Amino acid sequence: MFEFNSLQWTRQPDGYSMEDNKITITTKPHTDLWQRTYYHFRNDNAPVLQMKTSEKFFSFVVKTDFTGSHHRFDQCGIVMYLDSENWLKASVEYENEQFQHLGSVVTNNGYSDWATTAIPADVKAMWYRFSRREDDYCVECSYDGINFSQMRICHMHKGGGEISFGIYACSPEDSSFTAVFTDMAITECMWKAHNGQKPDEE
């Protein structure tokens, strides 16, 4: 059973609910997470709901429903927010009636990147699996909660000790929607040790 009482708000939205393994977050306009790269602005005001752990090997799974997203950049997904300049997130961002962006952002030492792929606009739900192996991380996505595909492997410079991870939702432009999070679970690490080339000797 997922322990809801272990979750804490880093930033609390005006509208939310938590009950029966379901969390809803209603976004405020002009909320986002981004640091510097390309756009040259810094946004750090998205609602973030997280738990802390020092466990070095685990996976976190959640289903997101974003049926209500309707405006450019509306988004919801998973997050590991360490501080304003070190975090990662994965989400589907609404673009228009034809397509949206399934992607992830990794921010190390104050600079964000954004890796995306276009998916159809009629996709209204996505599962994510966030896995940790010490200070390296893997983010996967799934349309059915069974078959997961790798989105990204990354290293977090400040991700070697206690971390915070969970969910977020935001609306960077002048809009608002309600994101729904269900089926949350923490499991053994589903990102298995690499079985190919051996590590270099130190």
CATH of the domain at 104: 2.60.120.200
Per-residue model confidence (pLDDT) at position 1: 60
Q: How far apart are CA 54 and CA 56, in angstroms?
A: 6
Residue of 71, 49, 84, 66 whose CA lies nearest to 172? 71
Task: Look at the chain and report how many structural domains it folds into.
Answer: 1
Per-residue model confidence (pLDDT) at position 200: 82
Answer whether residue 199 is part of any domain.
Answer: no
Per-residue model confidence (pLDDT) at position 197: 84
Residue of 102, 99, 129 whose CA lies nearest to 191? 129
From first to last of the 202 residues of the chain, give the pLDDT tens digit. 678 889 999 999 989 999 888 999 999 999 999 999 988 889 999 999 999 999 999 999 999 999 999 999 999 999 999 999 999 999 999 999 999 999 999 999 999 999 999 999 999 999 999 999 999 999 999 999 999 999 999 999 999 999 999 999 999 999 999 999 999 999 999 999 988 888 887 6
Answer whether residue 178 is part of any domain.
Answer: yes
Answer whether residue 17 is part of any domain.
Answer: yes
The first and second tokens of residue 112, run together, are 């964000």
Q: 88, 105 in Cβ contact below 8 A?
A: yes
Residue corresponding to tokens 């896995």: 131
Neighbour-count burial of 192, counting CB atoms closer than 10 A to its CB (0-12 exposed, 13-18 middle, 19+ buried): exposed
Answer whether residue 145 is part of any domain.
Answer: yes
* pTM for the predicted model, two decimal places: 0.95
- The 3-state DSSP composition of the chain as helix, strand, coil percent (nearest 5) reads 0, 55, 40
Answer whether residue 44 is part of any domain.
Answer: yes
Answer whether residue 47 is part of any domain.
Answer: yes
Q: 90, 80 in Cβ contact below 8 A?
A: no
Residue of 80, 61, 83, 101 whose CA lies nearest to 155? 80
Q: How far apart are CA 121 and CA 92, in angstroms?
A: 10
The range of the structural domain enclosing residue 131 comes to 4-187
Answer whether residue 140 is part of any domain.
Answer: yes
Answer whether residue 92 is part of any domain.
Answer: yes
Per-residue model confidence (pLDDT) at position 158: 96
Residue corresponding to tokens 């966030």: 130
